Amino acid sequence: MADRKSYHHGNLRQALVDATATLIEENGPQAFTLTEAARRAGVSPAAPYRHFKGREDLLEEVARQGFVDFADRLKAAFDDGRPRPLTAFLRTGQAYLDFAAARPGFYMAMFESGISVAGNAELSAASDRAQGVLISAAEALAIRLPVDKRPPSRMVANHIWALSHGVVELFSRGKPGSRSPVAPSEMLESGAIIYLRGLGLIPD
């Protein structure tokens, strides 16, 4: 049980976020309650209402923090396209898989909880920042092509996002090798290369 004394120093809000992420990891994003989150954080059932309007508000904050960390990881992986755009782009795919594995509770809050990202300005901004990294990566890949031959960078970013999410959902959970003998990272990389080559973003 968490140390109640710490909450006098302003840590209750984060303790509730972390407790909720753990509950989501264990039981899914639909199963947690404010009462259970409060119990995990070591406070009374009424304590969460000091910081959150209700269950949805707390869930959105878990997702927002997840997107902030997610965007930071993607940005660090892309590293301004060094040493070359394709290598950097593929690193962002690995960062996607690594985030989902390292912070599953936050990942599920972000993508599987049914929350309205557009309905929360801070959450929407955090999500847009993560997508912006992939858009920048797509733009860097397309720079070698004539302007009129470049595919829409947002489309490319969304397709790679969808491919990454599909690999996480279908092949990165459960026992390794249970659905495919190919590692999720290899599956994502080969799929991304095939897709990008088809668009002419990388040479044959």
In order of start, what are the domains of the chain with their CATH numbers? 1-52 (1.10.10.60), 60-198 (1.10.357.10)
- The rounded distance, in Å, linking the Cα atoms of 48 and 81 is 42
HSE-up of 82 (CA within 13 Å, CB side)?
4
Answer yes or no: are the C-beta atoms of 97 and 167 closer than 8 Å: yes
Mean pLDDT of residues grouped by 10 in the chain (204 residues)? 44 92 91 88 85 90 97 96 93 95 95 88 95 95 93 96 93 62 90 95 80
Note the pLDDT of residue 44: 82
Q: What's the pTM value of the predicted model, to 2 decimals?
A: 0.87
Check residue 178 and give its pLDDT.
55
Spatial separation of the C-alpha atoms in residues 133 and 121, rounded to whole Å:
19
Provide the pLDDT for residue 148. Answer: 94
